[in-house]
Amino acid sequence: MNDNEFAGAAVVLIGGHLGVGPAVVRAFHEAGARVALGVIAGQPVSDAQRAACAIPGVAHFDLDPSDPPSISRFFDQCEAALGGLAVLVNVAPPVKTQAALDIAPAEYRRVVDAELVSPILCMLEAARRMTPRGAGRIISFASMSGKTGTHKLVAPYAAAKGGLITFSRVLAAELAPTGVTVNVIATALFDVQVSVGSEHLTEVLKGIPVGRVGRSAEAARAVFYLASADAGYVTGETLNLSGGRFMD
């Protein structure tokens, strides 16, 4: 990959404060990209997360991803600040755990709206802006739970992420002739999710062939690849980042 490929490119991360998002923000910023973050309405952001993304030149805009007019305004702000949109990255919020039979119907609807419908609306708006330019990269973080269906206690989240993976394939097929690619990164256990030294972590590591959790910097490099010109022939794919715990 050309080290200067992202210099001046307009990169938008929705939920960039969350999870591995700060590592992706820093990586694109260091590569010379123009970066904007979508601060999701109602999604708590800790002081540490804000500090991790407090980088000079990185723009922060509020966004209600459930509201199409808010989404349109958000992308207008991003393009006014950065220029024509080149890369969109959807970062997944943290998952809550509860037994499927104990989850209220309203919570199922809330999670599916937040984890499936809202990302879809943002992807569609980004695609409308990318296709006239004949280029663009749309990348969404999902979870191996949405691909395998074997994780307990995350039923609505897994269902939503499985839907996001399938929607991304359909959108990828429709946009393929336009030069816009659509891909997903499915993660397993990463450093931002665990407490080092916990007994639970020790047990989980026994099931990961590489013997460790994923590093946020590795997630950033995966985004870099899918956003690069080298990945122009890759679309509709879901890249596993699981340390060998799950394999296709």
In this structure, is residue 248 part of a structural domain? Answer: no
Helix (H, G, I), strand (E, B) or coil at 133: helix
Give the Cβ contact number of residue 100 at 10 Å: 13
CB 183 within 8 A of CB 172: yes
Domain range for 59: 10-241
- Calpha distance 218→92 (Å, rounded): 16
In this structure, is residue 200 part of a structural domain? Answer: yes
- Return the structure tokens found at 125: 């708006």
In this structure, is residue 247 part of a structural domain? Answer: no
Structurally, how many domains does the chain consist of?
1
Q: Is the pLDDT of residue 118 over 90?
A: yes
Average pLDDT, the chain: 93
Q: Is the pLDDT of residue 173 over 80?
A: yes
Query: What is the band of 198 on the pLDDT scale with cuts at 50, 70, 90?
Result: low
What is the domain-level CATH number for residue 186?
3.40.50.720
Q: What is the mean pLDDT of residues 155-182?
A: 97
Q: What is the dihedral of CA 234, 238, 242, 244, to 10 degrees?
A: -70
Query: What is the band of 188 on the pLDDT scale with cuts at 50, 70, 90?
Result: confident
- Calpha distance 204→197 (Å, rounded): 12
In this predicted model, what pLDDT tens digit does every residue of 27-36 receive, in sequence order? 999 999 999 9
